[in-house]
Structure 1
Amino acid sequence: MRFHLTDDQRALRTGVRDLLARRYGREALRASVDAACGPGPGSGAGAAPGAVVDRGLWRELGAAGFFALRLPEADGGVGLGLPEAALAFEEAGRALLPGPLVATHLAAGSVPGAARGTMVVTAFDLGGPLVTYLGEADAVLGHASLPPGEPVRPTDPLTPLHRVAPPSPGTAYDGLEEYRDEGSLLTAALQLGGALRTVELAVRYAREREQFGQPIGAFQAVKHLCAGMLVRAELARTAVYAAAVTADPGEIAGAKLLADEAAVRNARDCLQVHGGLGFTWEADVHLYLKRAWVRAEQWRTVAEAEEFLAERV
């Protein structure tokens, strides 16, 4: 089975990367962080949190077909498949683009306006009473209305959380079983993008930062950290791409497991390479780690993936 990208797939990946670089580069990322929680510790932090979903960019993504990639052309979509969606979501993960991207993509065929990016759709994908982006969402995937919720201090400043009241007897928080595999795969693709980006950040810093008259990348310990990061990211890439092609539930669970591990451990190792700088608010490393922690709890956790795979053995 061939997993090499076609010319069209490479063009799609380049197009999404260029769009996000133009509309959500590092300056926009840091502006989002400042809007969400103030300019940071020691710099007047404590301002009232603001919206983190850029509605204008959301509509641009809709116009570019990001949310309608897998919707049939007869229904106004692009008519592509999971492999192409995985590539697009990988780029969104690489850019740390905030917002309920997976839920809105999955809602393209059922929630009017989701495919065009005029609606922000979230989901109960955390397996409990917490829901992301509830304060900015127009709909909840699989639910008829938006439930009321209380804000909860988030781990990731760009992933606001609300806690909703317990569901009534006989109902469930999520209602997402039909979307579980696709949601897991697309979230794995987001994690993959983050894992690959932290490799780039670590290698670039290791080349630039000097100690004892030479780049720290020349030291064996740093080389080993960067090499381990690359191996984890490439292993996750292979698993995500294969699962996107086969759409096998077991392979999707394995891809989510490997992508979660790569995203979290790579962000930690990237922080290690950056040393003291990595612990500062101004560095972007902590943002990748915090986002990876949140995504590791979405759609299917590591423990759930392990149990699912064990049952299939």
Structure 2
Amino acid sequence: MRFELTTDQQDFASSLESLLAASDPVGAARAWADGDHAAGLKLWQRLAEQGLTMLATEATPVELCVAYEALGRHAVPGPWVESAAYLPVALGREVEGVATVAVPPQVPYALDADVADEVYVAGPDGLTAATAGDLQVSVDRTRRLFPVVEVRGAPATSLETSGAFDLAVLATAAQLLGAGERVLADSVAYVKQREQFGREIGSYQAIKHQLADVRIALDFARPLVFGAALDPTPRSVSAAKVACGDAAYLASRTGLQVHGAIGYTQEFDLSIWITKIRALVTAWGTPAFHRARILESLLAAR
């Protein structure tokens, strides 16, 4: 089966790409990492006006994947998965403003709780209002993690946990896919410019093979994302998360190798995507968790 986006979906992707390309999301991400949220919240508002906060309740998972791939490709900061994927399904409504949630044990911390208008923690009885603790260190400085404490006496709101969790996992997979694509694109551009021994390093077969392996991994991951968007079962969603995590991580490792020492520097933009990929690989369920869920589903179907 050949999957292609509809004309409307392609137009949505194109308009979103144009908005992000003109909004300096890298600058917003760097400021966000330093605790300055002004630019990131301004971008949040522009994307909300574009309809991104309504996708979980008003559109299909396909449009959501298109949007989150773009968010990953441009390293847009903020609790987008929590506020615009998980919580709208869990609460049964679009979230006003910015919100975040912790879903132990797979999501032990609430992302960006310091800028959220609403903070929740998910438990056996549903969602409960929570307060944030002290900032925790993340490998991705744009992901500001906070432990949360349930507000004593706050009533729990019942929620549909499985569908909300799976949509959040799918959104994270799409972000990984977008981040991997960005690292590959930047790596290809770099090897066409960087010269050693009088030749572009991209002309060497070893470099070509490494980049080709990344291209293949991303191309194999993409159908799993959109296949899961069309039929978001726990197995398909976990398979998409595992494949996108592996492909994006391969892209980050290869990107570091072909860039050399400059790729390790915080000042170089590549570091934003490399650290984000490392963090997203274990966000909303580790690879081991999702592989176990796939295995359990396969064994149950025997």
Report TM bin, short chain: 0.7 to 0.9
Does residue 120 in structure 1 map to residue 98 in structure 2?
yes
CA contact (8 A) 1:36 1:52 kept: no
SS of match in other structure, 1:299: coil
Structure 1 residue 239: deviation in Å?
Answer: 1.0
User: What's the C-alpha RMSD, in Å, of the aligned pairs?
Assistant: 2.4
- Residue 132 in 1 paired to residue 130 in 2? no
Q: Does 1:209 align with 2:206?
A: no
Report sequence identity in percent.
29
Kept in 2: contact 1:129–1:166 (CA 8 A)? no
Matched, 1:163 2:163: no
Q: Which amino acid aligns with 2:234?
A: P
Question: Per the alignment, in what secondary structure is the counterpart of residue 142 of structure 2?
Answer: coil
Letter in 2 for 1:4: E
Q: Residues of 1 paired with 2:184 and 2:32: CA distance? A: 27
Structure 2 counterpart of 1:277, which letter? I
The 1:236/1:207 distance shift into structure 2, 3 A limit, reads same
- Any residues of structure 2 matched to 1:144-293 within 5 Å, and which? 144-165=128-149, 176-293=161-278
| In 2, Cα distance between equivalents of 1:19 and 1:128 | 30
| Deviation of 1:257 (Å) | 0.4
CA distance in 2, matches of 1:248, 1:2: 20
Distance 1:259 1:53, change over 3 A: farther
Q: TM-score, normalised by structure 2?
A: 0.86
In structure 2, the CA distance between the partners of 1:222 and 1:64, relative to structure 1 (3 Å rule), is: same
- 1:52–1:99 Cα contact (<8 Å) kept: no
Q: Which residue of 2 aligns with 1:98?
A: 77
Question: C-alpha deviations, 1:11-34, integer Å up to 9, x for none?
Answer: 1111111111112x3xx4135314
Cα distance in 1 for residues equivalent to 2:31 and 2:79: 19
Distance 1:108 1:179, change over 3 A: closer
Match of 2:41 in 1: 55
- Give, in angstroms, the shift of residue 240 of structure 1: 0.6
Aligned residues of 1:198 and 1:270 also touching (Cα < 8 A): yes
Q: Against the structure 1 CA distance between its residues 175 and 134, is the aligned structure 2 distance closer, same or farther, given a 3 Å change threshold?
A: farther
Alignment CA distance shift 1:84-1:258 (3 Å) = same
How has the CA–CA distance of structure 1 residues 197 and 288 changed in structure 2, closer, same or farther, with 3 Å as cutoff? Answer: same
Shift in alpha-carbon separation, 1:31–1:137, aligned structure 2, 3 A: closer
Does structure 1 retain, via aligned residues, the 8 Å contact 2:33–2:143? no
Contact 1:180–1:300 (8 Å) recurs in 2:
no
Cα distance, 1:181–1:129 mapped onto 2, change above 3 Å? closer
Letter in 1 for 2:97: M
Residues 241 and 129 of structure 1: is their aligned pair in 2 closer, same or farther, counting only changes over 3 Å?
closer
Q: Which moved more, 1:251-260 or 1:53-62?
A: 53-62
C-alpha distance in structure 1 between counterparts of 2:55 and 2:32, whole Å: 30
**In structure 2, what residue type is equivalent to 1:60?**
R
CA distance in 2, matches of 1:113, 1:4: 28
Equivalent residues, number: 285
**Structure 2 residue aligned with 1:13:** 13
Extract unaligned runs of 5+ from structure 2.
none
Q: Which has the larger share of helix?
A: 2
Q: Distance in 2 between matches of 1:163 and 1:91?
A: 28
Q: How much has 1:83 moved relative to structure 2?
A: 0.8
The 2-side partners of 1:128 and 1:166 are apart by 15
Instruction: Judge conservation of contact 2:71–2:175 (CA < 8 Å) in 1.
Output: yes
Q: 2:129 touches 2:150 (CA, 8 Å); kept in 1?
A: no
